Amino acid sequence: MGTTKFVIFTLLLSGSLAGKYGDLFLEQYNKIANASNKYFSKEGVPYHTSETLVIESTDYGHETDSEAFSYNVYLQAVYGALTGDFQPFNKAWDMIEQHMIPKLQINAERYNPSNPRNVSGITVGVDPIFNELKDAYNTSDVYIMHWLSDVDNIYGFGNIQGECELGPNANGPSFVNLGQGSLWQGFNTPTCDNFTYGASDGFQFSATGQGIPSYSYGAGPDADARAVQAAFWASQWAQERGNLSEIMPTLSRAAKLGDFLRYTFFDPYFKQAGNCIGKEECPGSQNKSSAHYLISWGISWGGSLSEPGYSWRGGHSVSYYGYQNLVAAHGLINDLNIKPKAPTAIDDWKISLDRQLELYEYLQTSQGAFVAGVTNSWNKSYGNPPQEYKDGAFHGLWFEHQPGFADANPWFGFQAWTTDRVAQYYYLTNNTRAKAITSKWVDWAMSVITFDENGDYTLPFNIKWEGLPPNATVSVTSYAQSIGSASATARTLSYYAAASGDSKAKEVAKKLLDGIWNHHRTEKGVGFEETFSQYTNFNQKLYIPLAGWSGIYPNGDVINENSTFLSVRSWFKKDPDWPIIQNYLDGGAVTKISVHRFWEQADFAIALATYDMLFNE
């Protein structure tokens, strides 16, 4: 890979901003940083949204997820590139370490890599990377972000960093897990469960009522990969500006994250990856044949708090196009500043980079959009798929479009997010496969984006697909003006245009940025009034995993068969926006709120800066 380009932004070396879009970046950046706009907690943790009454991927606007932290790292890296000040980048990574990589990992040192999960009825393999990670970093703990945090401790579990159930008076972001069922049926549970709240055995939902006090975490690995990607760019930009030494400690932590991120490559039970049929029949793997080498849907780990002392970990069987990240892989392989220490990490990432490219090719329709993903576990139970799925398998993984995962597939944002990274990789390397993938997608995207006479834009919101690869086809089912999707699309087109010289792509990128800037600026950043017809679900009954189960939350809210989304979140009634919801529930007008998602604000800012850096405009 000798063709790696170290991007030189000559105009930036003078220390001044190059063009108009750099100025717009700073204006947007200052709005995000402005404390009155409430994008950050007092600790400096990015919330999911500035507003509190937002229910979408998280069930409260001031919860947050690893995605927001990863966008913060990317935003601050870009800020460093434009201003030469990389301290905010360092601080953004500190936030990751202080609040999202769990310190409470009791019994981690008792983890047995020869038996990573002690479960019955399923054959388990060995964890082939634990020992080298332990040797490289002198720790048995997992260095990966948990995905969800209750930043204001509104649930009151008090699972602040390193602590277990300190309660409502604990001060600081508290790790939580999202319950089972749909977002509206689920209820949050504590990551560390020492039976202080919930039922007599906390939130274990064990039929005997005698579960073991324990903790568990889960990662959304696309976020961890995005943080590594951002660190790679920070490394490039800091070198150009002569500020590398200031960020070296942060870069070594990014390398460590990239090393541990390999857990996402593995089957959850370290079973053989590919043609894995039968919970007991499909063998556990004794080596890396348990790796599918894709950025899968998750990494999970946990353990007991007391005796019997154990801990466990595993990857995920399902991998979608939307999570893949060629830039993170490229950086870990080629940039010595983020070189992982474990001896087989680079070889693993090399296989992954190639496998990710192959997955894009496999899932790309002839129209240009991508569809769904692949799984190592048919029907989530290592079932035996129909023959047509076997005929079209991807390295022995089955085409996957199961409920649950399929939910995430229709969203156009995943298309733009992921192709942005393919375009960046193409820009960095001129790789012909990446070029072909991006070029096909760009043609499709430009055919479904429209502009009105005032320059305002519309792009797909949801898409649906039919058929199986290689004959799958897509159609757009709804359109919207989403800020994040438009920003990521603009960035994709910018990188593609810079690498290929395609002037049409550059023009559409500029029109999208101008469209957001001219039509959707608000006091707090960018946004528009969105309609939340799904807010009728406040009275949705909860999904209780065990019949007859009943428990209590730290604030006294009772959880049982009659509880609703709202009844176990009584604080919502004190929210300043509550009257709008109450009015809707009482039969009034559908809820409309202008929502400012941190990731969207950051995505737009990054897209502005990218356009400036690539074209000096």
Footprint of ligand NAG on this chain (CB under 6 A)? 3, 5, 30, 34, 36-37, 84-85, 115, 118, 138, 164, 194, 213, 241-243, 246, 286-289, 305, 310, 379, 381, 383, 392, 429-430, 468, 471, 523-524, 550, 560-562
Structure tokens at 541: 């009954």
CB of residue 288 to ligand NAG, shortest distance in Å: 5
Considering beta carbons, is residue 220 or 284 the nearer one to ligand NAG?
284
Q: Report the SS3 class of residue 473.
A: strand
Question: Angle of helix 483-500 relative to helix 503-519, nearest 10 degrees?
Answer: 150
Considering beta carbons, is residue 50 or 324 the nearer one to ligand NAG?
50
CB of residue 115 to ligand NAG, shortest distance in Å: 6
Taken in order 409, 410, 415, 417, is the CA torsion positive or negative?
Answer: negative
Catalytic residue among 452, 502, 557, 586: 452
Query: Do residues 213 and 238 lie in contact, with contact meaning Cβ atoms separated by under 8 Å?
Result: no
The answer, yes or no, to whether the previous bond of 470 is cis (omega within 30 of 0) is yes
Angle at 338 between CA 272 and CA 494, to 5 degrees: 95
CB of residue 242 to ligand NAG, shortest distance in Å: 3
C-alpha to C-alpha distance for 605 and 408, rounded to whole angstroms: 25
DSSP E strand stretches across 427-550: 450-451, 457-466, 473-480, 521-522, 525-526, 529-531
Note the Cα 238 to chain centre separation in Å.
25
β-sheet bridge partners, residue 465: 474
C-alpha to C-alpha distance for 334 and 3, rounded to whole angstroms: 11
CB of residue 401 to ligand NAG, shortest distance in Å: 12
Query: Do residues 317 and 272 lie in contact, with contact meaning Cβ atoms separated by under 8 Å?
Result: no
β-sheet bridge partners, residue 460: 479
Place of tokens 């541990």: 260
Place of tokens 């960095």: 428
258-279 exposure pattern, b = at least 16 Cβ within 10 A, e = fewer: bbbbbbbbbbbbbbbbbebbeb
Place of tokens 């079973």: 271
CB of residue 562 to ligand NAG, shortest distance in Å: 4
CB of residue 279 to ligand NAG, shortest distance in Å: 10
Using CA atoms, how far residue 287 sits from 252, 297, 395, 398, in Å, is: 27, 22, 17, 21
Structure tokens at 79: 């800020």
CB of residue 291 to ligand NAG, shortest distance in Å: 8
CB of residue 348 to ligand NAG, shortest distance in Å: 11
CB of residue 213 to ligand NAG, shortest distance in Å: 6
CB of residue 526 to ligand NAG, shortest distance in Å: 13
Q: What are phi and psi of 149, to 5 degrees?
A: -140, 140
Using CA atoms, how far residue 189 sits from 157, 195, 396, in Å, is: 8, 11, 36
Do strands 457-466 and 473-480 pair parallel, antiparallel, or not at all (unpaired)? antiparallel
Closest CA to 616 of 25, 21, 80, 15: 21
DSSP E strand stretches across 366-444: 373-375, 398-400
59 in catalytic set: no
C-alpha to C-alpha distance for 114 and 131, rounded to whole angstroms: 10
**How many C-beta atoms lie closer than 10 Å to residue 377's C-beta?**
23
CB of residue 583 to ligand NAG, shortest distance in Å: 26
Q: Which are the contacts of 541, defined by CB distance < 8 A and separation ≥ 6?
A: 185, 561, 562, 563, 564
- The type of residue at 149 is S
Considering beta carbons, is residue 59 or 193 the nearer one to ligand NAG?
193
C-alpha to C-alpha distance for 445 and 50, rounded to whole angstroms: 30
DSSP E strand stretches across 49-182: 63-65, 148-150, 174-177
DSSP E strand stretches across 284-336: 299-304, 311-314, 318-320
C-alpha to C-alpha distance for 534 and 395, rounded to whole angstroms: 39
Tell me the catalytic residues. 452
